[in-house]
Structures are given as structure tokens and as C-alpha cells.
Amino acid sequence: MSDIHSNVRILAPEGKAQAIMREVSRRRFLSVAAITGSAAFLAACSSGGTDGGTAAEPQATGGALEDNLSIYTWGDYDSPDVLDGFTSELGPKITMDSYSSNEELIAKLVAAKGTSGYDIVVPTGVFVPQMIENGLLEKFNKDLLPNMENLDAAYLGRSWDPSNDYTVCKAWGTTGYVYDKTVITRELTTWNDFFDAAQNEASGKTSMSDDPAGIIGSYFWANDMDWNTEDTAELDACEDFLVNEIAPHISAFDSYPGSGGIPQATQVLMQAWNGDARLGIQESPDPERWQWVLPGPQTELWMDNWAIAAGAPHPEAAHAFINWSMTPENLLLNLDYVGFNVGGKDMEQAAADEGLDYLDMIFFTPEQLETMHEQELNDSQQRRVEIWSAMKAAAGA
């Protein structure tokens, strides 16, 4: 293990680190919000309920880089080659901690009040406005991020930060499913197909994400409805369908079938994020056995973002690392490692030229992108977690 890697750590006992790195949830925030009370915090944030404010000017000026850099991010979310290269070329030693939810990230930053010791954080887009409003993020010095020009304009200027003053795309993805073609011999293409197969060929051998967002979302996506609805009757219908018709056929709630369910063939039908599904198929001893589906008529789109924490002790190194990660070479390294689109220009051709596989699980057509919709935080979050909990209880009965 290199000296660089000895400074890259996660908050886990030695010996369990690698397993946890692959299992840490990158999207699982709704369930944690309800369980820990973070939903109340976010509601307070949205109404200005905590101290803080927008940073006036960026800390970094383009001076000498500091000796260290502290990154707080999702588990196993950066190519080791990118991390090694940064320290080898530019000097700062990296310390990396991981969190399992946006709430965990936010709670730590709020408690620290600008003294967390972290430089770079990687929040999901839906949380960014509250974080900006409450002074949890530093404003970029965009003069120090010239490699932002290497990102496709489609992944810039998102609604949560229209001018990219505080955030820039780190990676984005979607939700679909994988099925075993040796058991399900018909073609599946939609979320309704998923539910039908779960009740038939895959009954008792179907897993769904251990996350209210994907579970409740799949019902609304299947019915071509707004998955951010707050309508009580629509949410009640969702609960009735998932609890009474689908739950009895579900054998597991697993957000990471790519780490076990697919390679070990423990399930026949598995809901999955595209990058994790790609990982699982790559690691399967029989990859031809599996079919990935980006189902219609709707599904989700999420995006994680590079950002700099308020009070970052190493702002020059933070800007340098984000800029380093946006070189074409490093964008490609991260894309292959995490299996998600990292937003770079002409990445599909570059990936094809490098011979990367399963590119249809990373890059999507304009028509497919039209079917993907971002989540919104609203007052229905607690109700959604109640549905998720009821479905899990029914599946376990």
C-alpha cells in the first residue's frame, strides 16, 4: 500500500473497510432522514431555520497549495489512480472519510459550524440549495477551475446551482433493474414488466432497493405519474399496491446487488442503480446471463457534486483537486471506476476508444434522458418512509 493510500481512510474498522466501501449507499437519504430526524432539520433549513448564510467571497486565491487535503465523500467513489496522481504530481496528501447519507454529511457540517476540518464534500443536488442558504458551502473561485470547460454543458447550470458558484458535477446516474435471462425468458422493458415478473417468474427471488426513493418512485414511474407528488390519495394507492400486491413476492431489500446478488446469482430480478448493475455484471462469472433494463415510461436522475465545505482549511488544495479531477484523463478513470457518467465532454467516444465495456449502462440517448426526472424534497417525505416501512414489514411476514 502506497503512502498516499495510507492517508486515504474511511470511518470503519480495519479489515471491514473494503466491504463497507462497496456497500455504502450513495443515494440512500430519504430513509435516514426519517429515522434520524434529519427531515426536520432540512425543513428548518429550507425556511432559514439554522444559523449561517451565503459565503461572501471564495477563500482560495491561487496561492501555494497546502500540504494536505481532507475529502468527505461517498464510499469508494474515486479512482485510486486519480488520488495517487494528484499527490504525486501536485503534492498534497489526501485524507478521505466517507459518509452513508446526505443527512450525515449535513449534520456534521452543521455541528462543526465551519470547523469540520473537511475541504471537499460531495452532496447530491437536491440538498444543495439548503446547504448554500445555510452557509455550509464555500463559493468557488472559478478562475482556479479552468478544467470545468471539459464538462459537457448539459451537466452544468443545474437548478440547484444555476451558475455553478458552489458545485459542479462529480457523477450522475439513474435507476433500473437487472434480470436473469435463464429464468425470465421474455423481454422486460418497463417498470410494469418488473412488477409483473416479480409476481410471476421471479416471485420470491426479487430484490428492491433498500431505499424509499427507489421503491416508491418505481410505482409512480410505472404509472407515468409525478413521483414527487404530495397527493394523499396517490400516496395511499402507492402503499396499497406495494404492500399488498408486491411485498409478498420480495425476498430482499438490497441497494447494492452488484456486490452480491448479481455475481452470486442469489436473485432473479433486482432493482439497481446503473453503475452498480454494471459492476455486478462485470464481476459475474457468466455476464451473458444478465440483462440490464432502463425501464419506461419514467425513471429517476440524480447527480452528486463536487463542493467545498465552509471553513475549508485547505482551500487552495481543494480547488486544485477538483480541477485535477476534471482533466479528460481523470474523468475517464473515474467513469470506468464508478460506472457512472461523470459529465465530461465527448466521454462516450473516449470510453469507446479505451475499450470500456457496457457503455450503454453509462451513456443514454436523448430519448432515454427525457424519461429521467429528478427528485424534490417536500412535505411527503415522512409518508414515503412510512410506506417503505410497511412494505418491508409485509415482505418479512
Choose between 176 and 377: higher pLDDT: 176
Q: For the chain, give the secondary structure using H, E and C.
A: CCHHHHCECCCCCCCCHHHHHHHCCCCCCHHHHHHHCHHHHHHHHHCCCCCCCCCCCCCCCCCCCCCEEEEEEECCCCCHHHHHHHHHHHCCEEEEEEECCHHHHHHHHHHHCCCCCCCEECCEHHHHHHHHHCCCEECCCHHHCHHHHHECHHHCCCCCCCCCCCEEEEEEECEEEEEECCCCCCCCCEHHHHHHHHHCCCCCCEEECCCHHHHHHHHHHHCCCCCCCCCHHHHHHHHHHHHHHHHHHEEEECCCHHHCCCCCCCCCEEEEEHHHHHHHHHHCCCHHHEEEECCECCEECEEEEEEEECCCCCHHHHHHHHHHHCCHHHHHHHHHHHCCECCECCHHHHHHHCCCCCHHHCCCCHHHHHCEECCCCCCCHHHHHHHHHHHHHHHCC
Over residues 114-142, the mean pLDDT reads: 95
| pLDDT higher than 80, residue 53 | no
Cα distance between residue 243 and residue 367, in whole Å: 32
| pLDDT > 80? residue 32 | no
pLDDT-based confidence at residue 345 (cuts at 50, 70, 90): very high
Closest CA to 77 of 264, 325, 287: 325
Q: pLDDT tens digits, residue range 356-380?
A: 999 999 999 999 999 999 988 889 9
Cα–Cα distance measured from residue 326 to residue 343, given in angstroms and rounded to the nearest whole number: 9
pLDDT of residue 154: 87
Q: State the Cα–Cα distance between residues 175 and 358, nearest whole angstrom.
A: 16
Digit-coded pLDDT (tens) for 76-100: 899 999 999 999 999 999 999 998 7
Please check the confidence at residue 215 and state whether its pLDDT lies above 80. Answer: yes
CB contact at 8 A, 331 and 152: no
User: Is the Cα torsion angle 38, 39, 41, 46 positive or negative in sign?
Assistant: positive
Residue carrying C-alpha cell 446503473: 274
Average pLDDT taken over every residue of the chain: 87
pLDDT value of residue 256: 85
Contacts of 93 (CB under 8 A, 6+ apart): 3, 4, 7, 67, 68, 69, 87
Confirm if 372 and 303 have CB atoms less than 8 A apart. no
Residue 229 is placed in which grid cell? 407528488
**Distance (Å, rounded) from C-alpha 382 to C-alpha 95?**
35
pLDDT of residue 371: 95
Domains of the chain: 3-173+302-363 (3.40.190.10), 175-300+369-395 (3.40.190.10)
pLDDT given for residue 56 in this prediction? 56
Question: Is residue 343 scored above 80 in pLDDT?
Answer: yes
User: What is the C-alpha separation between 183 and 87, in angstroms, rounded?
Assistant: 48
Residues 231-262 have pLDDT tens digits of: 999 999 999 999 999 999 999 999 889 989 99
pLDDT at 255: 85
Predicted confidence at residue 106, as pLDDT, reads 92
Position 24 scores a pLDDT of 39
Q: Which residue has the higher pLDDT, 296 or 39?
A: 296
- 194: helix, strand or coil: helix
What mean pLDDT comes out for the span 223-234?
97
In 80-215, beta strands by DSSP E? 93-99, 120-121, 137-138, 167-173, 175-180, 206-208
Mean pLDDT of 292-303: 96
Residue positions counted in the chain: 397
**291, three cell numbers:** 440483462
